[in-house]
């Protein structure tokens, strides 16, 4: 705080603190407390709200275990609650999106930070930012057009002879959802990694090259460890945004691919049961937080690393 006062002065420091406090209280704390309180109350007609039937319980949370669906994996058949199954697939595909985003973003981030001509860098960053200026609806809809049965992707693949018949890409399980999420969130992985690699002293890379280290060893021993905070920050953002995404799965998902946020949305809008929807929203928030915490523990990344 003293550093902020010395750097920005009393007026600007107080203004910034008030804005941060407003953001935390009104946009994070109050809505979450309201949602939490509502998640323990039953869905009742308006005349019964506040009456003797309006009591607190865990019934809304236990609804996630209702309605089993039969599935098989590696030839083993089993029965699982449909919403648990949907949540598991949401986490699985969100992890896949995160890994693919990292695989795409890391080489580009290294290229931008250490190889590209500094004069060309602003143009490159501008080109990367342009998709972010377009509405997410338009981006998802653009991919819906590209992946359509008679879309440009099938036309291109047919023209070069890769496929013999057009493919319904959006009907291939979660293929369309994964592609759409990668395109939407890859920049959230790119820029944290770019910032981390940019702070790496190039002399360390040149010294390793002079000593005869192969390129993969330079990245494994020098670049990747240094860029760990950026990788952690990007991974958390991409994973949480993917798991909580609603628009892309709604547009690019097939009739058989249900995203967990769509289930929450259905409780809110179709069933008008905001209490159960609140419970489901908290289940998603808590389990995603636990999953990210376990991943950070496994990869030995601290919260302070993400904040860097």
For 99-159, the DSSP string reads HHHHHHHHHHHHIIIIIS-TTTHHHHHHHHHHHHHS-HHHHHHHHHHHTSTTSHHHHHHHH
Question: How large is the average pLDDT for residues 221-225?
Answer: 91
CA–CA separation, 155 and 169 (whole Å): 13
Task: List domains and CATH numbers for the chain.
Answer: 73-305 (1.10.3720.10)
Whether 134 has a pLDDT exceeding 90, the answer reads: no
- Identify the pLDDT of residue 293: 87
Closest of 306, 96, 287 to residue 192, by C-alpha: 306
How much is the pTM? 0.85
The pLDDT of residue 19: 92
Buried b / exposed e across 81-108, counting CB within 10 Å, b at 16+? ebbbbbbebbbebbbebbebbbeebbeb
Are β-strands 68-73 and 76-81 bridged in parallel, bridged antiparallel, or unpaired?
antiparallel
Q: Residue 10 pLDDT more than 90?
A: no
Average pLDDT for 149-174: 84
Choose among 291, 300, 294: nearest CA to 240.
291
Q: What is the mean pLDDT of residues 239-257?
A: 84
Separation between Cα atoms, residue 230 and residue 101, nearest integer Å: 13
**Mind listing the pLDDT tens digit for each residue in 70-96?**
887 777 888 889 889 999 999 999 999
């Amino acid at each position: 705080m003293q550093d902020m006062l010395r750097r920005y002065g009393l007026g600007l420091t107080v203004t910034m603190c008030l804005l941060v406090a407003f953001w935390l209280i009104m946009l994070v704390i109050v809505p979450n407390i309201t949602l939490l309180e509502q998640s323990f109350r039953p869905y009742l007609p308006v005349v019964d709200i506040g009456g003797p039937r309006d009591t607190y319980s865990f019934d809304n949370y236990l609804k996630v275990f209702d309605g089993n669906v039969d599935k098989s994996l590696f030839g083993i058949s089993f029965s699982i609650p449909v919403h648990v199954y949907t949540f598991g697939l949401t986490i699985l595909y969100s992890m896949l999106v995160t890994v693919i985003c990292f695989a795409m973003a890391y080489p580009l981030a290294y290229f931008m930070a250490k190889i590209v001509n500094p004069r060309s860098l602003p143009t490159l960053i501008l080109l990367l930012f342009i998709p972010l200026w377009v509405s997410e609806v338009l981006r998802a809809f653009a991919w819906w057009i590209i992946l359509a049965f008679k879309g440009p992707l099938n036309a291109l693949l047919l023209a070069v002879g890769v496929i013999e018949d057009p493919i319904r890409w959006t009907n291939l399980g979660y293929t369309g959802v994964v592609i759409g999420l990668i395109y939407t969130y890859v920049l959230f992985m790119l820029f944290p990694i770019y910032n981390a690699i940019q702070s790496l002293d190039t002399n360390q890379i040149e010294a390793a090259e002079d000593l005869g280290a192969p390129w993969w060893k330079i990245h494994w021993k020098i670049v990747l460890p240094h860029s760990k905070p950026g990788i952690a920050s990007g991974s958390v953002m991409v994973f949480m945004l993917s798991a909580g995404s609603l628009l892309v799965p709604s547009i690019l998902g097939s009739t058989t691919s249900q995203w967990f946020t769509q289930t929450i949305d259905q409780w809110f809008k179709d069933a008008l049961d905001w209490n159960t929807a609140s419970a489901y929203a908290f289940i998603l928030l808590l389990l995603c937080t636990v999953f990210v915490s376990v991943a950070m523990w496994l990869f030995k990344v601290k919260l302070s690393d993400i904040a860097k």
